Amino acid sequence: MRQKQEIRFCDLQQPLDDEYEISNEIQDRCKELILGDDQLKEVMKRLTDDINKGLGKKTHADAIVKCFVTYVQDLPNGTEKGKFLALDLGGTNFRVLLIELGDNHFEMKSKIFAIPQHIMLGSGEQLFDHIADCLAKFMKEEKVQKEKLPLGFTFSFPLQQLGLTRGMLERWTKGFNCSGVIGQDVVQLLKDAIARRGDIQITVCAILNDTTGTLMSCAWKNHDCKIGLIVGTGTNACYVEKQKNAELFDGQDNGSGKVLINTEWGAFGDDGQLDFVRTEYDRDIDEHSINPGKQLHEKMISGMYMGELARLVLQKLTKEGLLFNGKGSDPLFTRQRFYTKYVSEIENEPHGTYNNCRQILEELGIKHASEQDCVNVRYVCECVSRRAAHLVSAGIACLLNKMDDPTVTVGIDGSVYRYHPHFHNLMVAKISNLVNKHIKFNLMLSDDGSGRGAALVAAVASRK
């Protein structure tokens, strides 16, 4: 059995140095995957410019980083009470939640439903009928099907929000490509699917992104939480912005003067702004994706692509005779066969221990790996995962500097941040290097995911 993955923030080790006898040839081939602070500061500068374009009324239409207004103006304050439903759609699994809030009381029940591949690539009507079916089954199991409950809908794809309960899908990401949804109001599509059933009563109070849900979930515990971050199947971030800077805000100010902005930073670089740090492996990933030319920032960071990035590097090094004596295997040379979890498992061992690495290589049909091969394979995984952590850190430092609040907690969810053994510490170290020195920050794991945040948005919206 390989070492079990767990949430573990170990001490930051000294990665990417000569201590572990990485061969010079391997180090040379991996140089382009290692980003220096000067490169990361240039990434920050370009991202800041793109965020400002997304916020501007005159520049938004042509902006790559869209910075959509979420219309969420208030964070939880502890006075929320009642039962609330949440739907959480953002990857290959879909969650339904029932949350009950009271004085010093929090109770949550949830169930995970799979989304089959044929639904991910089918019609929009099929997708929303599936969602409504899951919701109805859950409500009947929890015996609340006769109650009319407020619902928050986490829909983790790029949305142009026209209000708290109106969101038009801009484009699909993360392997989805359902027809008849782009340009449509997904809240209305959900309402239509519920109406077609006729057996449950629901008031949809809010549509939100998973980053907004993560921020709200963490803010319920920590009132300093002003940034929400996802590093999982995809990546995205949201943050609290002054309404006067959000020029597309078309709502009534409730007195807070603030509004949450969904950056959709996964698209950063789609216009060439990241070409100066992209590699041949990034270009290969993009060319063979279902959305070529799109979500280029995300493709350098997220769990959907990290394993394949590592595989492409290993494949090239093997074919050049620098790994495994030049003898690879069909699985190693097969797309998507080196899973992102392998990267975490290989790095989740002390240096000098390669049990996980050997078992993974054997699964890939490579039984002749030397200890030096294992050292080099680990180094490749470190290069790929640390680059991802450093790019995310540059983005967070960019938002922290832009907000310029003295103390900010960053609420974070997603499988890469949650399960990679060094991601948290790598981020703390790199953000500390990049952020303005007077700003104090804290990274907070979102225990309950974005689903609880959706219910909390519904609760805040119902709070009068």
Confirm if 159 and 167 have CB atoms less than 8 A apart: yes
* Active-site annotation holds for 50: no
Instruction: Please pick, among 50, 210, 270, 448, the residue that the annotation labels catalytic.
Output: 210
Instruction: Please pick, among 53, 174, 299, 341, the residue that the annotation labels catalytic.
Output: 174
Count of Cβ atoms closer than 10 Å to residue 37 Cβ: 12
* Active-site annotation holds for 192: no
- The Cα 445–Cα 214 span in angstroms is 9
- The Cα 9–Cα 301 span in angstroms is 19
For residue 235, the cross-strand partners are: 231
- Known catalytic residues are 174, 210
